[in-house]
Amino acid sequence: MKGEAMSRRSVLGAAAAGAGAVLAGRAAEAQAMRPPDKPRLRTFTNKDFYDAGGKFQADKGKEAYLELMKCFGYPIPEPLRKGMWAVDFGLGDFVGCGLGGILWWNSKKYGYYGHEIFLLPGQMIAEHAHMKSADAPAKMEAWHVRHGMIYTFGEGEATRPLPVKVPESQAGKFVTVWNCQPLMPGEVRELNRLEARHFMLAGPEGAIVTEYATYHDGNAIRFTNPGVKF
């Protein structure tokens, strides 16, 4: 029995390692899809986005996302320039945990929503869930990768080994869901159930993602990290 158990563990370990290699290979696949003459985004550090007093400079964040769009050849019309935003969730780690976006539409009357997400390389959206509220049902959403790639994290069996590193500022008690699935350009995935905790993390070149969803009630979002300001 002992030998059988050891053999079983060996098989499971090999399977996990193989799965991890497959997931990691998808990041390389995304990079291989990138035209060789396309410009590369410069490397950012948190020093690029905070003033001497440690205050987040949203304009600097938006400038970085505009650079990301140019590298991907993503159109930048004037309404996008005027309407986009950048946040660091009040956590002081914009490079590790931050978000850029533009809310194209959010109809409470008809229950639909359109949002574009911008993420720098390796940048994570803080883990959260969308709950039912007095004004709306729990939000359901799906993510459509336009450029780059993302790793989606949600409920389910933990992925081991992980194909990507979760930012240290969030990887401890502020991440509770560890099922990781990569999403490539053109691929779409939906949240696995209403009110499920989830987050996404950009691949090595960053990402631009279209979100399709039901109405978003800003008062119904719940972040795992109580320090988040959004």
Domain at 99, CATH number:
2.60.120.10
Domain annotation covers residue 119: yes
How many folded domains does the chain comprise?
1
pLDDT, position 38: 77
Q: Which domain holds residue 111?
A: 2-223
Cβ neighbours for 161, distance < 8 A, ≥ 6 positions apart: 16, 17, 20
Cβ neighbours for 164, distance < 8 A, ≥ 6 positions apart: 24, 27, 122, 151, 180, 201, 203
Instruction: Output the CA–CA distances (angstroms, integers) from residue 197 to 71, 153, 224, in the order listed.
Output: 31, 9, 8
Structure tokens of 4? Answer: 């059988």
Question: What does DSSP say about strands 221-223 and 141-154: parallel, antiparallel, or unpaired?
Answer: unpaired
Domain annotation covers residue 163: yes
Domain annotation covers residue 120: yes
Domain annotation covers residue 63: yes
Query: Tell me, what amino acid is at 30?
Result: A
pLDDT exceeds cutoff 60 at 110: yes
Q: pTM for this one?
A: 0.86
Domain annotation covers residue 229: no
Closest by CA to 162, choosing from 173, 170, 149, 153, is 153
Structure tokens of 113? Answer: 């929503």
pLDDT exceeds cutoff 60 at 16: no
Domain annotation covers residue 212: yes
Q: How confident is the model at residue 18 (pLDDT cuts 50, 70, 90)?
A: low
Domain annotation covers residue 228: no
pLDDT, position 172: 86
CA-CA-CA-CA torsion for 16, 225, 85, 77, nearest 10 degrees?
20
Per-residue pLDDT, averaged over 77-98, amounts to 98
pLDDT exceeds cutoff 70 at 114: yes
pLDDT exceeds cutoff 60 at 13: no
Domain annotation covers residue 205: yes
